[in-house]
């Protein structure tokens, strides 16, 4: 038996329609760069999605950890003028 780590995502009250749409989209996708939806729990308690575990967190968390330091975007030393 293969054992995999999973993630559980709860639905907040009032977001049921958005939850249904996300379940529909994720259930139709099969791509190595998109997390797998393993299942949905809707009978007891708040609705939950059972998802593949994301080792580096979600995209927002990953980008926040890897954002450049303040001031590195437009300093004169890293901008070249095209002539």
Taking CA 75 as the corner, what is the angle to CA 73 and CA 81, rounded to the nearest 5 degrees? 100
Cα–Cα distance measured from residue 47 to residue 51, given in angstroms and rounded to the nearest whole number: 13
Q: What is the DSSP letter of 60?
A: H
Residues 58-83 have pLDDT tens digits of 778 888 888 876 655 555 555 555 55
Per-residue model confidence as pLDDT tens digits over 28-56:
988 888 888 888 888 887 888 888 888 77
Domain layout of the chain by residue ranges: 6-63
Q: Going by CATH, does the domain composed of 6-63 fall within 3.30.420.40?
A: no
Q: pTM for the complete prediction?
A: 0.57
Residues 54, 35: contact at Cβ < 8 Å? yes
The phi and psi torsions of 7 (rounded to 5 degrees) equal: -125, 145
């Amino acid at each position: 038996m293969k054992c995999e780590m999973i993630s559980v995502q709860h639905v907040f009250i009032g977001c049921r329609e958005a939850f249904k749409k996300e379940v529909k989209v994720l259930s139709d996708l099969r791509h190595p760069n998109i997390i797998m939806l393993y299942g949905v729990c809707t009978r007891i308690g708040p609705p939950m999605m059972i998802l593949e575990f994301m080792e580096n967190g979600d995209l927002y968390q990953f980008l926040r950890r890897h954002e450049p330091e303040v001031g590195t975007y437009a300093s004169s030393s890293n901008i070249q003028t095209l002539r």
